[in-house]
Structure 1
């Protein structure tokens, strides 16, 4: 009774007793509110194309369907720290130029020949290319082809929201003026080399120069490793995308990788603190999470929340793309994994 009276008196003063909530604030291990979930690419694509008949890219600014985790209603988040959505740009459209605090990656799901431009340099996009738009850099998207372009957007919107640090602005024209020919950055940084520092200032930011990781480059590298390397029992054959400036993650808050699972291969159970979004690039696999099973086909998407034990069973040879908040957790000394 005395405690109740004390609590009632303190509450209007913005005071709460820690001893009543310590167990929920400092957990013995992660217990994510996010739920493991699967999105059928064909189902999402159908809704996206229907939206394309109704609303233009100019009206929407970004015509995107958010993949909101059912365990995080109202937060526009796929994990507590990450956002995911599928974006559609139809033939002849331009998604207007803007910039914002949030870091973003684009993983191309369908279509060939459209572009993302970063500060006026176009990256011509092919299926399963990875294109970055680091925070603060102006970017626009355009489709001058005769077919729709669809890609996965992965952003750190919830992380920026946590810190109340969001800024955004639009350019006064739809598309940034072209500054260099397409592929200029790939020529400078895409071959494990970089321009020597001389009198001419480098055009790209020194800390994050490369923004286009082509499927035509990363897939042969992954298959080449798989041809001779010993396979990791928990990951399969796996390669992480790196920032060539420092060998670290591709973005300050987001890490990304690809995996190859040979036909019939089953990974051992693994859990990690970085909730991960997966895309099936090739093949078909079953994702097992305890008693729950998800069959994943080409271009399907799934999310594995933090610290949920999981394993993959490949049917034919399967290639997966994944991104997570591992980059953030490593900086904050939070990341942990456990291989069973």
Structure 2
């Protein structure tokens, strides 16, 4: 076993015995809005992370019919965002897929528009099913195709629509729980259902996606690129499988980055695409960030702390932080993942363990 950082082992605490005298003391503290740290120290500063979330998988084949039912019950405009939230079983009612991340599957039908709004929460879209839908971000519209990674930076106007001839589904991933914890959530509805477009489609890709910047371009906190196509991502993965050694704990991996800084595309959410050759199984790995996996191609067998999940294309798996896991590819497999690792790293909290 190797660790990126050493961990100091604290001595095991001896519970304090409460007698009649000390009980009176503790009751007195409550009346003065005080509390003894020695009672809660082991909970506040644990020996290792103890996420409340559990590992759990959602089968797209099971969720898709429920999304279609939702499409019959309510329109995209009425719902504003017609989404089925992926709720972690141990965090029911909290709209969390892990302790700090939100995820949901959104449906849009032909001719619909999900009204424009903006909010301080950062969002990503991972296209999963169907062609012909689009997202508009700050006046630029980008088409969505399965496997595309699209971002909505904090406080940017965005709406969704569809010219498709069938249903389109994508995964939404947001930092809602984190922003809620900080009580920093703001939201604003646009005056119009859809924002006016003042940039041509592909303008941001042409401007920032070719490795070219103007001398006076400033660094931006979030990526000025809104769309990272699966076609280009898959081609990059294919190239590194031929030219580079594979990480035995994570497989072949490419990360989505902000071209002005080289940092993650979103400041609070990191995302990547990974490829595992047929029959390859990663070595045991864990890190402090909570992670969401989405199978794109192939078939995966994922073991999380002894619990085994089988993922086929479009299935979603939550892997809580500091949970030991291994991923095996029954056939050559590609999968998308996103996590809150950027927050951990910026706050010097991130740790990983490779066995």
TM range (shorter): over 0.9
Q: Write the mapping of 1:15-54 to structure 2, written as runs, cut at 5 A.
A: 15-54=34-73
Deviations 1:46-105 (A, max 9, x none): 111111111111111000000010111221101111000000011000000000000000
Alignment pair present for 1:152 and 2:171: yes
The 2-side partners of 1:227 and 1:149 are apart by 34
Match for residue 312 of structure 2?
Answer: 297
Match for residue 281 of structure 1?
Answer: 296
Alignment pair present for 1:339 and 2:354: yes
Following superposition, the deviation at residue 268 of structure 1 comes to: 0.3
Alignment pair present for 1:82 and 2:101: yes
Q: Write the mapping of 1:1-340 to structure 2, written as runs, cut at 5 A.
A: 1-197=20-216, 208-340=223-355
Contact 2:285 / 2:353 at 8 angstroms: preserved in 1? yes
Between stretches 206-215 and 219-228, larger displacement belongs to 206-215
Contact 1:188 / 1:195 at 8 angstroms: preserved in 2? no
The 1-side partners of 2:164 and 2:227 are apart by 19
3-state SS in 1 of match to 2:241: helix
Following superposition, the deviation at residue 173 of structure 1 comes to: 0.3
Following superposition, the deviation at residue 195 of structure 1 comes to: 3.7
Following superposition, the deviation at residue 251 of structure 1 comes to: 0.6
Match for residue 6 of structure 2?
Answer: none
CA-based RMSD? 1.4
Pick closer, same or farther for the CA change 1:261–1:27 going to 2, 3 Å: same
Following superposition, the deviation at residue 328 of structure 1 comes to: 0.7
3-state SS in 2 of match to 1:123: strand
TM-score w.r.t. the length of structure 1 is 0.96
Contact 2:153 / 2:222 at 8 angstroms: preserved in 1? no
Contact 1:260 / 1:317 at 8 angstroms: preserved in 2? yes
Deviations 1:303-336 (A, max 9, x none): 1100000001101100010000001111101111
Following superposition, the deviation at residue 196 of structure 1 comes to: 4.3
3-state SS in 2 of match to 1:21: helix
The 1-side partners of 2:212 and 2:173 are apart by 27
The 2-side partners of 1:161 and 1:11 are apart by 28
Segments of structure 2 that go 5 or more residues without pairing to the other structure are 1-19
* Paired positions, count: 336
Contact 1:207 / 1:246 at 8 angstroms: preserved in 2? no
Deviations 1:242-288 (A, max 9, x none): 11110001111000011100000011000000110000000001001
Deviations 1:185-217 (A, max 9, x none): 01111122224438xxx9x96753111111111
Q: Which runs of 4+ in 1 moved over 4 A?
A: 204-207
3-state SS in 1 of match to 2:116: strand
TM-score w.r.t. the length of structure 2 is 0.92
Contact 1:101 / 1:168 at 8 angstroms: preserved in 2? yes
The 1-side partners of 2:225 and 2:308 are apart by 37
